[in-house]
Chain A
């Protein structure tokens, strides 16, 4: 990569990455009732990694994120399929999603849904694939 002074970019990245990560998690959970969701959350998550890669070099990224993103992508795809199979175990059609909602005092309606698991799989698949692609291109010098 071009060696120029990257101090400003690196300093900003250190702070901004956490904001992006928080945004990603926020977007992921808000997907149920507002814009967001697994795909968008995953992409935002991936974009924070891309930013880190632009600001630092490969070595730093590898040290900071000792993850095999191929595995992340694979486990995402697996979770997506497994949530579908989960419905079969309960005698429902493949990929039928279930919701459980109940009220908590002071907090109000709380919902649990298997869609969240499904979307988590989508998010992991997106993160894994996007980062895998970016890392393998960036490493290919």
Chain B
């Protein structure tokens, strides 16, 4: 079963292939080749479907960094299979759609490399059993999302959105990482499955609350829960296929996956319940409310995604109570909430994907997504209208679409919640169904706005008689998604039995998933039914009088928004950082040298005298030979001469001379490698200086007047170094390790110990050094080549 690992890495391999083929010009759209990857993966995961539905799980593990017990362990159960199918299924449709959406003059190779990078890392997130590996993939999704949002990096908005998403999600990801480390500290394992077995240990540990807070910070930032939702609307600068894929169907659901995955540990804890459920509720309400005021169709969809994710999150909060010790009897009612959450998660991917694609089509065909400039499209784009209608009605929770079923289940869960009397603040719990209902009214309004304002009415704005449906290929994916919306409504239990119930089973291993019952289309005249009727009635009235209603938004000016807080915090931290940096970055090399030397004197020298480390001359040492005395004296004399000579050239040559003397000293100590390296480095750096010689200002101008302070620093640093050198020789704390390296010939087959250390024993260091060297070289190249010319304007925009 290594193949799960292969499935994760297949997108990465495909991305590598695209990079390697970078010089080759494809005659056809490169997307056709990329399309193979998600199709293959989708088939692969579908083949596991029946095994997993029977309760089987698949576990594999491969060593990655065994010395830190980091393994590439994968675990496939109902929950990860549900997400894997979403990732690959929606991925297939999105790539098919993007073949028509992205024209060939875009940087398609970049686009698909980023997309595949994302697909692979998202699969990694949902299939990893090892928390560190999960974290790595988690951050990789943030990075690929960053790259995709900034795909049109020429636009200022794209760069802003990309930066915002990266700052917020990486902040959350890092908190989650600390949470993982704490979990490891408590349980002694990195494996999620083994952590789940130790739920009791974690619950009774002092770190329990910090772990909850840190993990939820990761989940909430990724799954755009209030107040971290502000990055998603700005992420809409990405190409529409990306918005449909990352920012509505998959990546933003990673946080939900995390919550679901860790529910067996934290479920039943009241803090976990309150945080997850109330964050979900607030998000649901606030984002639905804000979606109404949007005039950009994609922004509207972004807020609606935020709101729907809040809905799913709150359901997971309710579902987590099934682990509460006091309510074991009626757990089915609570597991039903998780069931509803997963059902809505799938439904949301279908209808929101279809809507995003239709908005993309409108943008592609007409050139605007602004509601105020769109109207009467129904006459020109009837197929798009039908799809948009299906998507919007499903989103609003109307029959006969799948959104209706999961919305009803959501209401059921919220109503049932009020019947448990385990809460200290029952009044707040009673508010839950009310908030859910009001938010659903808002959802109804913006769903109607989306479809009716765009498609009905007289044609106006940019809509002309020449407006047509897009090429048929572009419609395939939304048509498939819209059909799924209806098919799932008709046969919800097929989906439930094979995909949803196994997933519920992995959240609640103790529950028999057959008890969950069937998804019913008709419950009779229940409270849920009247809630839906109420939504339609009130929603329709408010929709018709929406222009009056929208005045309510005047009470929420920009100055009070979280966006404003974010922007100010960012601007302020930039200003502060600049101030701090300007404080010590003076542009004078001599200042930088004095910082370095002062640090050595104060910290190292200070530690030396504070700890009373003894040192002496000549006791344990070999006798100093005459040659060494001569070299030492010569070095000292030359060093004193350097600052006194009259020209820069002589100063440079004299410094080089000191280097050569040092090399001779190495020869006397029988270190030929060191001597050789010293000689060459000295030669190359001296000639480098000669090259730069031409650009330097005149010697007299740059010469600073003599300063006692500098002399003091110079003498002290020399003194500290001498003392260190002597003390190191006198204070052996442990046996020398060099005897191990003397076996170089035997262990590595080489007689040169120095090079064996470099190339074999400590090859990792050498590798990193080579890479660092390369990065430094590229940095210098970039600094000299791309620096701002004198008087040139800002490069940005």
- Residues of A bordering B, CB below 8 Å: 1-2, 27, 31-40, 43-44, 46-47, 50-51, 53-54, 70, 73-74, 76-77, 80-81, 84, 93-95, 97, 99, 101, 111, 113, 115, 118-119, 121-122, 125-126, 128-130, 132-134, 136-141
Contact = CB atoms under 8 A, between A and B. Distances in A.
A95 B774 contact: no
B758 interface: yes
The dominant DSSP class at the A interface is helix
Interface in B689-722: 690-692, 694-695
Contact of B763 (A27, A32, A118): A118
Given A40-B677, A133-B781, A125 B755 contact: no
9 contacts: A36-B673, A43-B681, A50-B684, A51-B687, A73-B778, A111-B749, A115-B755, A130-B777, A136-B780
A125 B770 contact: yes
A141 B759 CA distance: 39
Which of A35, A111, A121 is most buried by chain B, counting CB atoms within 10 A of its CB?
A: A35
Interface of B: 66, 672-673, 676-677, 680-681, 683-684, 687-688, 690-692, 694-695, 748-752, 754-756, 758-760, 763-764, 766-767, 770-771, 773-774, 776-778, 780-781, 784-785
A74 B751 CA distance: 30
Given A34-B751, A129-B777, A136 B771 contact: no
Nearest to A46: B684
A126 to B, nearest CB: 7
- Closest CB pairs A-B (n = 4): A129-B777, A33-B751, A99-B749, A35-B672
B759 A35 contact: no
B691 A54 contact: yes
Contacts of A137: 688, 691-692, 780, 784
Contacts of B770: 76-77, 80, 121-122, 125-126
A40 B771 contact: no
A130 B755 contact: no
B777 A122 contact: no
A81 B774 CA distance: 13
A86 B767 CA distance: 14
Contacts of B684: 43, 46-47, 50, 130
A97 B752 contact: no
Contact of A77 (B692, B754, B755, B774): B774
B755 A37 contact: yes
Contact of A138 (B691, B751, B767, B785): B691
Contacts of B763: 84, 95, 97, 118
A46 B684 CA distance: 8
B691 A125 contact: no
Contacts, number: 150
Contacts of B691: 50, 53-54, 134, 137-138
Contact of B688 (A1, A39, A70, A133): A133
Contacts of A130: 684, 777
Contacts of B764: 84, 94-95
A51 B752 CA distance: 29
Given A73-B774, A128-B777, A32 B751 contact: yes
Contact of A129 (B677, B681, B692, B776): B776
A70 B750 contact: no
Nearest to B687: A50
Which of A34, A39, A77, A141 is most buried by chain B, counting CB atoms within 10 A of its CB?
A: A39
A34 B752 CA distance: 5
Contact of B680 (A43, A80, A81, A121): A43
A113 B781 contact: no
Given A44-B680, A77-B774, A122-B766, A37 B688 contact: no
Contacts of A97: 748, 759-760, 763
A33 B752 contact: yes
Contacts of B767: 80-81, 84, 95, 118
A129 B694 contact: no
B759 A115 contact: yes
Contacts of B688: 50, 133-134, 137
A70 B781 contact: yes
A125 B776 CA distance: 11
B521 to A, nearest CB: 54
B788 to A, nearest CB: 13
Contacts of A54: 687, 690-691
Nearest to A138: B691
Contacts of A136: 780-781, 784-785
Contacts of A76: 770, 774
A115 B680 CA distance: 22
Which of A27, A32, A53, A94 is most buried by chain B, counting CB atoms within 10 A of its CB?
A: A32
Nearest to B785: A136
A31 B776 CA distance: 25
B145 to A, nearest CB: 26
A108 to B, nearest CB: 14
Given A37-B755, A95-B764, A133-B780, 12 more contacts: A1-B694, A31-B752, A44-B680, A50-B688, A53-B691, A73-B774, A74-B774, A81-B771, A84-B764, A118-B767, A122-B770, A125-B773
